[in-house]
């Protein structure tokens, strides 16, 4: 009784070899379903992404939705997929998406299944646009090529947050026996419950993002040239269409990377956050075609990296915080100058995550709109944005330092397609003022105060050491006392989102939600510095994010950089203690 001959063969082989270690790895523990859904390698066994685990996950999700929505059979769900595939186990995003669709359709639930690969933001867009109950995107974003994932959106168009992850997880446990015909995905092709939203979304999405297009005449005339890479992912066609929607000439596409390829043959990691290594081919094409700006999407096109050629001939790759500062400035300026939005500035909001730069806070203070920070991750920003919009507020922009930007209220998640074309319009506008992106970034800092950031991480494979390190910070000078200083830097405030303590609040209780399962402490320093130390949910890392926020008028950037470097060195030496804790440094 075998449904997938490829995974069956892998397991049979291991049994024949008596390879208990590998079998333990495949079958020892089930993949955990969290707020980010699933993310694991494709392969055999319950710890991997394969036909069976997709069927089981979707059965659980379907039952959970039935419990939460009495009109599920009227409204339905949307399912999208990227171009990932894994030859030796037969798994692919498309196959997983079809099996998921089959599961819902077998229970009488309408499914809007995209007939072709799409960017991740198209799924939350479709949930909102068609008022569906939920959305699923099969993607592992910028993970290594053997991985895949299953990302879930709720009816509000944002990624799920607790307690839905627990509820779905429990429902998966309760529905592990595959339902009749669970494997027979051919059944969906003749079902009246199957709909293809591809053509409709390709029309409507590009219509909706045009609400963020303010300088069509400049776009038509600009001589600025752009290079775009989709890094072997899904982005190529959609960024071309976005440029067309804004009346911009199409960007030059990196030919070796423009077509989807699940092997990602030209890059070590398909992650534009890695900076220059992923952009090598883009730099070469830009030099050849005389383009000054490079736009790079990750493989599922929900993130965006940007590089610009400087006067010196060097390429500058903007950090997520720098591009966040530019897009925040631009989107606010466009709203102020061109908006047909009659809402007062007091109803305007921008959001960013707590480990991202506080530059939006500085702009908001000076301009009079609201800034809010959320916990790390777009699930929090998407859900908060929806709450604010339901109260009649305008949420213009949200971003996180991991190169994620939400520039358009039609998508309550990060979207690298709209971010790419809005960046291109901003660059084209600035060119008419003889300004580069780098020059404008300096102008933003001159006006609102320099915000210098530095982030890195240590690798630690021993959870006990990580626990000990954070316990030490909470009992620094005796029991329940946090550090009063870090080297020569005086600590002026502490927020601990693991325990819920915040020294700056009158009742010493943190406002943001707390989570005992992950470590996160933020230190504020008397010199205007902020540093957050946190554990990663998906990797064996202790990350830190530091920032020095100077008031406007303090323009000695080199001095500020030196001060931040010294603060970071003190943080590593006194709070991380890498030698004592045997931590491994991030290797550049």
- Which listed residue (141, 230, 319, 356) is catalytic? 141
d(CA 211, CA 213): 6
Of 361, 353, 320, 359, the C-alpha closest to 532 is 353
d(CA 79, CA 81): 7
For residue 342, the tally of other CB atoms under 10 A from its CB is 6
| Cα 325 to Cα 84, 263, 328, 355, 423, distances in angstroms | 33, 34, 5, 14, 12
Buried b (16+ CB within 10 A) or exposed e, 77-113: bbbbbbbbbbeebbbbbbbbbbbbbbbbbbeebbbbb
φ and ψ at 305, to 5 degrees?
-110, 145
Catalytic residue check, 141: yes
The two three-digit tokens of residue 118, written as one number: 């799409």
Of 86, 100, 167, the C-alpha closest to 135 is 100
Omega cis (within 30) before 73: no
Residues 6+ apart with CB under 8 A from 282: 227, 229, 254, 294, 296, 307
* CB-side neighbour CA atoms (13 Å) of 307: 29
Decide the pairing of beta strands 38-41 and 85-86. unpaired
d(CA 202, CA 490): 54
The two three-digit tokens of residue 182, written as one number: 């669970």
Q: Is 200 strand, coil or helix?
A: helix
| Cα 448 to Cα 326, 534, 548, 577, 584, distances in angstroms | 12, 28, 13, 35, 37
Q: Which helix (H) or strand (E) holds 490?
A: strand 489-496
By annotation, the residues acting in catalysis are: 141
């Amino acid at each position: 009784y075998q449904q997938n001959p490829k995974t069956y063969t892998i397991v049979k082989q291991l049994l024949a070899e008596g390879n208990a270690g590998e079998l333990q790895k495949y079958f020892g523990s089930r993949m955990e379903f969290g707020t980010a859904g699933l993310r694991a390698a494709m392969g055999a066994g319950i710890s991997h992404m394969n036909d069976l685990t997709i069927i089981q996950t979707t059965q659980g999700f379907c039952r959970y939705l039935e419990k939460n929505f009495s009109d599920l059979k009227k409204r339905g769900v949307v399912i999208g997929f990227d171009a990932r595939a894994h030859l030796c186990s037969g798994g692919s995003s498309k196959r997983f998406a079809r099996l998921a669709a089959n599961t819902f359709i077998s229970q009488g639930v309408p499914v809007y299944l995209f007939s072709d690969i799409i960017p991740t933001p198209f799924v939350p867009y479709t949930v909102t646009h068609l008022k569906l109950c939920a959305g699923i995107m099969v993607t592992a974003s910028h993970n290594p090529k053997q991985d895949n994932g299953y990302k879930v959106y709720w009816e509000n168009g944002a990624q799920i947050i607790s307690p839905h992850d627990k509820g779905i997880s429990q429902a998966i446990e309760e529905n592990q026996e595959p339902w009749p015909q669970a494997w027979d995905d051919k059944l969906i092709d003749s079902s009246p419950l199957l709909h293809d939203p591809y053509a409709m979304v390709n029309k409507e999405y590009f219509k909706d993002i045009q609400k963020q297009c303010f300088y069509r005449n400049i776009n038509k005339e600009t001589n600025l040239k752009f290079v775009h890479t989709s890094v072997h992912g899904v982005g190529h066609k959609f960024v071309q269409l976005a440029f067309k929607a804004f009346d911009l000439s199409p960007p030059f596409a990196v030919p070796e990377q423009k077509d989807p390829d699940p092997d990602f043959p030209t890059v070590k990691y398909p992650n534009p956050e890695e900076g220059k290594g992923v952009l090598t081919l883009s730099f070469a094409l830009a030099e050849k075609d005389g383009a000054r700006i490079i736009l790079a999407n990750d493989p599922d096109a929900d993130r965006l990296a940007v590089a610009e050629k400087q006067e010196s001939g060097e390429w500058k790759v903007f950090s997520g915080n720098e591009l966040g500062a530019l897009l925040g400035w631009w989107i606010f300026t466009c709203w102020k100058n061109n908006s047909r939005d009659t809402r007062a500035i007091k109803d305007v909001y921008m959001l960013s995550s707590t480990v991202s730069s506080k530059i939006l806070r500085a702009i908001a203070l000076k301009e009079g709109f609201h800034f809010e920070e959320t916990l790390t991750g777009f699930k929090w920003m998407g859900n908060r944005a929806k709450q604010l919009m339901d109260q009649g507020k305008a949420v213009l922009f949200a971003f996180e330092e991991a190169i994620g930007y939400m520039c358009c209220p039609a998508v309550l998640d990060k979207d690298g397609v709209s971010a790419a074309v809005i960046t291109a319009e901003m660059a084209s506008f600035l060119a008419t003022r003889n300004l580069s992106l780098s020059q404008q970034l300096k102008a933003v800092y001159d006006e609102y105060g320099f915000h210098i950031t530095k982030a890195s991480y240590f690798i630690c494979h021993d959870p006990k050491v990580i626990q000990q390190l954070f316990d030490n910070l909470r009992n620094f000078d005796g029991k329940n006392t946090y550090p009063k200083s870090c080297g020569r830097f005086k600590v002026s405030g502490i927020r601990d989102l693991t325990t819920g303590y915040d020294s700056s609040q009158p009742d010493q209780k943190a406002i943001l939600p707390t989570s005992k399962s992950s470590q996160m402490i933020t230190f504020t320093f008397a010199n205007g510095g902020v540093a957050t130390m946190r554990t990663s949910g998906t990797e064996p890392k202790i990350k830190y994010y530091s920032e020095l926020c100077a008031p406007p008028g303090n323009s000695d950037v080199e001095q500020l950089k030196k001060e931040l470097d010294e603060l970071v060195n003190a943080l590593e030496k006194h709070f991380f203690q890498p030698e004592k804790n045997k931590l491994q440094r991030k290797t550049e």
